Structure 1
Amino acid sequence: MTYILLIHGAWHDGDCFAALARALAARGHRALCPDLPGAPATGLAECVAALPGAPVVLGHSMGGMVAEALAQARPPRLLIHLCSYLPLPGDSLAALDRLLPSPARSWPRDAESRLILPPKAARAMLYSDLPEDLATAALARLRPQPLGPMRDPLPGPDRASVRRHYILCGQDRAIPPALQRAMIARAPVEHLHETPWGHSPFLSDPEGLAALLDRIIRAEGLHPAHP
């Protein structure tokens, strides 16, 4: 089987990928869905240190920053970005957010200065295309987000030499499609896949996302029978 490391985004944990992991398993792949560390002092380096290597790595949203940093330390054979931040060395998530003019976002913090995403904002940004029951369950799983992975720049000086696919989500309200395109324009990928999904297709359409990932993996020669 092919091992796929799924790296979640801000405010989430690995359980957000449960439905996608089941759909991938049905297609002969094994998904690894670890939690990124959530301690207040967590930075990009701590996130990378907490993760295993894998032949296929997928980063969602903020997880794209972590995936690129992991690729520098333990390069996968294939790196897939799912509506994620796509940095070059020296870029931080905060810097990438400034590529296009947009209203400033400011979130409350807990007693340890981690960011808290209010449920109303989370529903609108992350889960805009989810039915109410799935959105309610997803909102209940959100957790405080350390600032470090959003502030830390991707180490350099060179970009990891790996094959990259980017899944652009056309209805994304967290990382707008225009920002996704701007990042791709300055940090090219080998293949772009445009989809009509919102920001969280692992919840809104896990079967469709699993089918797309399976096609990508097979097209790259990483069949389930060849880890």
Structure 2
Amino acid sequence: MSTPKPTVILIHGAWHSPEHFQPLETALSSHGYRTVSPWLPSVHYEKLNAPPVSSILDDIVAIRQTIVSELSAHPAADVVLLSHSYGAVVASAAIEGLDKFSRGSAGHQNGVIALLIIAGLLAPPGTSLLDWSGGQVPPTMLISTVPYPGDPSKREIEICTCVPDPGPVALFYHDVAEQDPLAAQRYASLCMPQIWAVWAAEEVPVPFAAWQAAAELDLDVFYLVTEDDRALPPVFQRAMIDIADREIAAARQPGDDGARKSIHVTAIKSGHSPFLSRVEETAQWVRRCCGERDV
């Protein structure tokens, strides 16, 4: 029997949703991949009928539940975790103990075999995202307060949204707009506020980073640099990768296969969301990361 293709779990970024991944999921499904995309509670707590989240851990738990569910339901199939932007932080943290090496030690046949990152943040463990960004609110964010959902008697909650000027189309979908302005506007309309606590809760820092532990795990890490990114400039993406690679090298033990454990970097000429503007190219990259040849 042939080994089944891995399930691809797609983790959206701040303000985004699984709906933004639909074109990529359709492309991957056409090539025989099962795909799953959970709703992160820091953005979609109301849709999930949950209270507003208090920290980054809520997103991490939601992703872990999705991974465990897939590994349990399909014991012959491994999982590949694909993450975008902010989603890279919580996806990387969620892998702890679920990689194939750790799962194999516990008697399981399957596990997470790869972490794919598209224009993602590489935040090390022990820091809040706000501390990691120098204590400054990122220039793409606007902080405000809204009434507690369903109970205005409770304390207001802080949310972050994309700055209205230049706005999400210009920051995230400018190359989509060049192809189809109406599609870019529709994707922008799907964006929702995110709870600010996932960025600013200093008492609950990033607990784990799978990319940092790649030297110890049976895990490959792939990064897709978006060369025309106006939200997360490519020079910053490459600087993060350089720092991460140094941390991976420092963590290596004698005998580790260093070439295999460094971050595998590919560049694409796109804005922040190539899964919308360069769908087939992005799907081909995912397929190569999953081990397909001649793609």
Q: Secondary structure at the match of 2:159?
A: coil
Which whole-Å deviations, capped at 9, do the CAs of 1:111-170 have from their partners, x for residues lacking one? 131112245421221112112111111111011111233235321598433320111111
Q: Secondary structure at the match of 1:116?
A: strand
| Residues 187 and 74 of structure 1: CA distance in aligned 2, closer, same or farther (over 3 Å) | same
The 1-side partners of 2:15 and 2:161 are apart by 8
Higher mean Cα deviation, 68-77 or 199-208? 68-77
Higher mean Cα deviation, 63-72 or 114-123? 114-123
Residue ranges of structure 1 left out of the alignment (5+ in a row): 222-227
The 1-side partners of 2:138 and 2:193 are apart by 22
Residue ranges of structure 2 left out of the alignment (5+ in a row): 46-51, 71-78, 100-111, 147-156, 246-261
The 1-side partners of 2:9 and 2:184 are apart by 24
Report the equivalent of 2:14: 10
Is residue 62–residue 93 contact of structure 1 (8 Å, CA) maintained in 2?
no
Q: Which residue of 113, 119, 122 corresponds with 1:86?
A: 122
Report the equivalent of 2:84: 60
Q: Which residue of 150, 162, 168 corresponds with 2:225?
A: 168
Aligned length: 219
Is residue 13–residue 142 contact of structure 1 (8 Å, CA) maintained in 2?
yes
Identical counterparts, % of pairs: 30
> Which one has more relative contact order, counting CA pairs under 8 Å at least 6 apart?
1
**Mapping for residues 185-196 of structure 1, pairs under 5 Å:** 185-188=242-245, 189-196=262-269
| Residues 42 and 206 of structure 1: CA distance in aligned 2, closer, same or farther (over 3 Å) | farther
| Residues 15 and 197 of structure 1: CA distance in aligned 2, closer, same or farther (over 3 Å) | same
The 1-side partners of 2:20 and 2:208 are apart by 30
The 1-side partners of 2:124 and 2:263 are apart by 15
TM-score normalised over the length of structure 2: 0.68
TM-score normalised over the length of structure 1: 0.86
Matched, 1:77 2:131: no
**Mapping for residues 1-227 of structure 1, pairs under 5 Å:** 1-37=5-41, 38=43, 39=45, 40-51=52-63, 52-53=66-67, 55-75=79-99, 76-98=112-134, 104-111=139-146, 112-119=157-164, 120-131=166-177, 132-151=181-200, 152-156=204-208, 159-160=212-213, 161=217, 162-188=219-245, 189-218=262-291
The 2-side partners of 1:211 and 1:104 are apart by 32
Is residue 61–residue 84 contact of structure 1 (8 Å, CA) maintained in 2?
yes
Report the equivalent of 2:104: none
Is residue 23–residue 207 contact of structure 1 (8 Å, CA) maintained in 2?
yes
Is residue 125–residue 207 contact of structure 2 (8 Å, CA) maintained in 1?
yes
Residue identity matched to 1:121? G
Residue identity matched to 2:190? R
| Residues 208 and 41 of structure 1: CA distance in aligned 2, closer, same or farther (over 3 Å) | same
Residue identity matched to 2:158? S
The 1-side partners of 2:174 and 2:84 are apart by 16
How many angstroms does 1:91 deviate by? 3.5
Is residue 172–residue 271 contact of structure 2 (8 Å, CA) maintained in 1?
yes
- Once superposed, what is the RMSD of the aligned Cα atoms? 2.5
How many angstroms does 1:105 deviate by? 4.9
